Amino acid sequence: MDQLAAALDVLDGRRVVALTGAGLSTDSGIPDYRGPTAVPRQPMTHQEFVSGPAAQRRYWARSHVGWGRMRRAEPNPGHLALARLEHAGAVSALITQNVDGLHGVAGSRDVVDLHGRIDEVVCLRCDEITSRAALHERLTELNPDFGDGAYARTAPDGDAEVQDVEHFRLAPCLVCRGALMPHVVFFGANVPKPRVERCYALVESAQALLVAGTSLAVQSGLRFVRRAARDGVPVVLVNQGPTRGDDLVTVKVEAGCSPTLSALADVLAGRAGSPAPRTDPGRALTV
């Protein structure tokens, strides 16, 4: 039995929860940290970001360019396949480590954004949550000569490799003048406990776990695979290259997410006779 057939044998007729990572969004033009084409890069940590204006200026200058590109990303066939599986009743819920919001645009409805959403901004002082699109307009007005970074290399999580950042002007919170940060979980910070507990509950209620596009290099996602394995829930893993969960899975499909998930959806959703969900006709992220 080949890998795809083995995966279908595990998933067919079971209540499936999906767990996705950055490798799922690479076909939408969003780089990942550890995939086959990734360039080694040290992301900014939470502790560094909150250290003061110098780190925040460096982050926002780079992210201002990266967001201008990331917000135009569209769902790829992997996102659409998972939405088809949910609409057909084959996938009951989805946990994503990604912050790009593309699962929702593709049509998935029950999505837990484990690490938050890059299209939202939160104030470090008063916790006011606002739109990233509105902040982008403010930063553009404050930095009219900054340019669009046409020659800057795109990096993961809406970042870009921009060097000249010393004179970039920051935009404070409009409510309290506090410092703003993207409403995401930076490296070195913890996912909110209620969100983690919800994900554990989903995994414990599942009859199978479908993991796609993640090397499970960090505990944030690996813990759910470990919980499934501990509870005897079969795990199907779709990923190119080794992962930290390889010894925990029932079936591993060593292939790209888009073709593999599309093939799975063709069979599992097709049996249910479900039409493909309608995607958001607008841009991928809230603008």
- Residue 151 — very low, low, confident or very high, per pLDDT cuts 50/70/90? very low
Q: What is the pLDDT of residues 60-102, one digit of tens each?
A: 988 888 887 778 899 999 999 999 999 999 999 999 999 999 9
In the chain, the number of structural domains is 1
Whichever domain contains 95, its CATH number is 3.40.50.1220
Tokens 């200058």 belong to which residue?
A: 61
Residue 280 placed within a domain: no
Residue 84 placed within a domain: yes
Residue 256 placed within a domain: yes
Separation of first and last alpha carbons in the chain: 46
Residue 285 placed within a domain: no
Least confident range of 60-69, 130-139, 216-225: 60-69
The pTM for the full model equals: 0.87
Residue 126 placed within a domain: yes
Q: Which of 261, 285, 269 is nearest to 104 (CA)?
A: 285
* Contact between 155 and 31 (Cβ < 8 Å): yes
- Per-residue pLDDT for 225 more than 60? yes
φ, ψ for residue 256, nearest 5 deg: -65, 150
Beta strands in 179-266 (DSSP E): 180-184, 208-212, 235-238, 251-253
The CA distance from 80 to 175, in Å, is 38
Q: What number is the average pLDDT over the span 214-224?
A: 95
Q: What is the pLDDT of residues 170-188, one digit of tens each?
A: 999 999 999 999 999 998 9
Residue 284 placed within a domain: no
Which domain covers residue 268, as residue numbers?
A: 3-272
DSSP reduced 3-state for 19? strand
Residue 283 placed within a domain: no
Sign of dihedral through CA atoms 187, 22, 42, 173? negative
AA identity, residue 9: D
Please tell me whether 123 is known to bind a ligand.
yes
Q: Identify the pLDDT of residue 72.
A: 86
* Contact between 82 and 103 (Cβ < 8 Å): yes
Please tell me whether 173 is known to bind a ligand.
yes
φ, ψ for residue 21, nearest 5 deg: -135, -170
Length of the chain: 287
* Contact between 285 and 263 (Cβ < 8 Å): no
Residue 286 placed within a domain: no
State which of 158-172, 187-201, 260-274 shows the largest mean pLDDT: 187-201
Catalytic residue numbers, as ranges = 115
